[in-house]
Structure 1
């Protein structure tokens, strides 16, 4: 994703704004809501994938063994 790696935060904001305006042009409120909810859904799934990849990467120590210590388990209740 080289185009996004080189963007400053301000440039990313301007690009996002321009995309939103372009997508919303000539659409009514219902169409914009559907499109926005679709994009939010895709974003949520991307965040879930990224967090799971990050979790898996940090759950394996440098020797390649899983950190299966009993103290690492999550207890709910």
Structure 2
């Protein structure tokens, strides 16, 4: 189940500009499902870790590409 949740999130993450509504919705849905899984299994490190990974990645969404479309390293 956690792999399917991450697959949905990752599919939404592949839209670098965030312009494809369907893909963006998949990322949002993946986070929602991750929150649900973590709340139902709070003692499972895989569920909590998956949610943390998705939230960390989502927090960088707006800053992961430069105005020219190049990837911006995490250190920057």
TM-score by length of 1: 0.33
Name the structure where helix makes up a greater proportion of residues.
1
The structure with higher relative contact order (CA 8 Å, sep 6+) is 2
User: TM-score w.r.t. structure 2 length?
Assistant: 0.33
Larger radius of gyration: 1
